[in-house]
Amino acid sequence: MPYGKRQKGRLILKEKFCLDLNLNDLTCWCEERGIPKYRASQIYNWLSSGCVTTDEMTNVPKKVRAMLEEDFIFGGFTLLQHLVSELDGTEKFVFALHDGNIIETVAMRYKTGISVCISSQAGCKMGCAFCASAKIGFGRDLSAGELLAQVSVTQKMLGERVRSVVIMGIGEPFDNYNNVLGFIKLANDPEGLNLGARHITLSTCGLVPKIEEFTKEGLQVNLAVSLHAPNDELRKKLMPVAKAYSIEQLMNACREYTKATGRRITFEYSLFAGVNDTPACASELVKLLKGGLYHVNLIAANKVPGTVFTSASPAKVKQFRDILESGGINATVRREMGSDIMAACGQLRRGTIEGRS
Ligand code: SF4
């Protein structure tokens, strides 16, 4: 049975969040519970449109709603904060989950449509020196349904269809591999959110074995890799993951991903003043990426309180980009979204948790 475990003939489902269910799961559940099959589609439609309570399921009998609540986890996604940037319309949502863990989701407005940046974990174990999430520690992995709910609930709140999703919020997606894969499959479902793999971007700090495993899945998901340094020595100072996997191993895995999928990889490179913004770093990066199906996103990062890192000056950012481009490397400077509402990864969640304690 895909949606729960059997124990003495009784289904034990209570640990399953409602949005972890696909249509097939719900159809099986209806059969088990003696409920007409067509109810499964009705319930699935409600869940896909961002319902995390049964109250809104007005075309589903109260008795069936009570059975659903008996068997699955409903609720959570209580909105704790909602901030809207006056600069660019970026909206940031801080949610409390059903067990009290806190996550954040960011909706960004582009000319092409709305892109939602979702969290994959409550907290993060990766310990990047420049990151607000790393300072708070790790809560737990999010389920596939909890990743999906960030998109569907946000879509419902905005009243507009989400065009793309980036798994680039709090957490390392490949440290929650199975649930992230489950999310991609749920999001792809034409009966549900119907979001194509090419509209999903997964950002990793560089867990090499997981990149290799993901390559074998044969998905058309866009991959973004947080690089932030052109050599192991500097990268180790910024990202503990670099102590486990060298840049050479990382680049081999990336090359294989581009070969297998034909998709271009984006390397994220946050420019920190006096740390990794020198012309020498830029030249080294040119050598590293030359000839690959790659793109570099230069980020003049938001200042993260509690860290020693400050953003590189606009002149340094321009100089860095010019060196990349003259070396034949495609590079863009990422627009800083929502800088007035602490939109950098994990900042608002950290503020909310610290404000509560
Ligand atoms: S930057 Fe990403 S991977 Fe690194 S600690 Fe923060 S959330 Fe984790």
Whole-number Å distance, alpha carbon 24 to ligand 1 midpoint, is 34
Q: Name the residue of 106, 117, 131 to mutate for ligand 1: max ligand atoms within 8 A of Cβ.
A: 131
Do residues 99 and 39 share a domain? no
Last residue of a domain, one of 37, 56, 71: 71
Do residues 50 and 122 share a domain? no
Whole-number Å distance, alpha carbon 239 to ligand 1 midpoint, is 9
Contact 277, 248 (CB under 8 A): no
Known active-site residue 256: no
Across the range 104-126, mean pLDDT stands at 94
Do residues 151 and 197 share a domain? yes
User: Would you say residue 1 has pLDDT above 50?
Assistant: no
Last residue of a domain, one of 28, 50, 71: 71
Do residues 19 and 92 share a domain? no
Contact 125, 189 (CB under 8 A): no
Known active-site residue 104: yes
Q: Which residues pair with 15 in a beta bridge?
A: none
Least confident of 128-137, 228-237, 252-261: 128-137
Per-residue pLDDT at 2: 47
pLDDT in tens, 129-155: 988 777 778 999 999 999 999 999 999
User: Would you say residue 345 has pLDDT above 60?
Assistant: no
Tell me, using a 6 A CB cutoff, whether residue 170 lines ligand 1: yes
Across the range 226-241, mean pLDDT stands at 97
For the chain, percent of residues with pLDDT exceeding 70: 89
What is the pLDDT of the chain when averaged over all its residues?
90
Whole-number Å distance, alpha carbon 286 to ligand 1 midpoint, is 25
Do residues 238 and 140 share a domain? yes
Do residues 224 and 323 share a domain? yes
Element (H, E) at 298: strand 294-299
Contact 108, 337 (CB under 8 A): yes
Domain region containing 67: 5-71
Query: How many angstroms separate the CA atoms of 77 and 242, rounded?
Result: 34
Query: How many angstroms separate the CA atoms of 208 and 215, rounded?
Result: 11
Query: How many angstroms separate the CA atoms of 132 and 136, rounded?
Result: 7
The number of folded domains in the chain is 2
Q: How confident is the model at residue 43 (pLDDT cuts 50, 70, 90)?
A: very high
Query: How many angstroms separate the CA atoms of 133 and 345, rounded?
Result: 7
User: Would you say residue 101 has pLDDT above 80?
Assistant: yes
Higher pLDDT among residues 113 and 350, named by residue: 113
Per-residue pLDDT at 204: 97
Do residues 66 and 82 share a domain? no
